[in-house]
Structure 1
Amino acid sequence: MNTRRRTLLVLLLLALTGCAAAPERPETMRQALFGLSERVAEQVAASPTLPRPATDQVLLLAMPEIDPDLGLSDERLMESLTRALLGLDDGPQVLDWRPSLADGAGRNQWRLDSRLSASAPRLQLSDRELLPYRLTLTLRRPGHDQALWQTHIDGALDATAL
């Protein structure tokens, strides 16, 4: 193999290695929230409170409460959560929660409340800024304040994707 081909081969391998080693960075808000929303869907689907089969259940998704320090709109998180929950295999039906739905709620209806809060100050890395968060999920019966199930998800969002 001549020197020119060998050099080109080495450059190609370095380029491919660099691409493979570079961490993936979300390019859009949808991608940034996708992983979080999938974790939510998995946690809800695994909830011991939600009867089986989940396909017979109706999940009433309340508008998320979001800490303003995160700079994230509640509509974007709501859209992402809805998509992830609807994407579950054999998952529940998903509707937007409205207070009027509390009256006459069926035994197969559940309200999912979510609260996304900043859990620490922003973390400045060399190539990006991370927003640590804690997402609290609470499953209730419509029209009742008593939490039947609650869990927390901790993580960090890439601020450059927001």
Structure 2
Amino acid sequence: MAAKEKTLSDAFYETLKDVFYAEKQSIRALKKSAKAAKASELKIAFENHADESAHQVERLTQIFELIGKPARAKTCEAMQGITSEMEEDLEDFGSTEASDAVLIGCGQAIEHYEIARYGTLKAWARKLGLADVEKMLDETLQEEKKADALLSKIAEQDKAAVSVKAA
């Protein structure tokens, strides 16, 4: 008997399970980053985005319901790799002057992965005619882009502070 041909709907569900796992891992990484951050603005940014990510997990659960599928997580190898690198970086740079800059880099790696995934899922939701789901995914996508922009802003401010110190 021939295997059933996979569809875009199947790919959508599999990727949704992947991002569900990734988002849960992201919350843990954000909380850990908030504890490790030295600059108060960075600490607050990580804490606020951890809260926002918890709402994103709830939104994903609603999306699973809307498509009539169980809310299941599938191990996301990419997020495991990113968070593993973050652990190594915290070990190597956690007590150094570069620690906040390294945390920002790790945070942006997570955000960029999520932006890529949510952008893809949003496009697929449109193709599948899932307008409500598309809107929800876009809401999350915009939150991820905003978090990334805030990290860039903090990094640039930090860079300015370092150059003033050096002068």
TM bracket, shorter-chain basis: under 0.3
Larger relative CO (CA 8 A, sep 6+): 1 or 2?
A: 2
TM-score by length of 1: 0.27
Q: Could you tell me the TM-score, scaled by structure 2's length?
A: 0.27
Which structure has the bigger radius of gyration? Answer: 1
Higher strand proportion, which one?
1
Larger relative helix fraction: 2
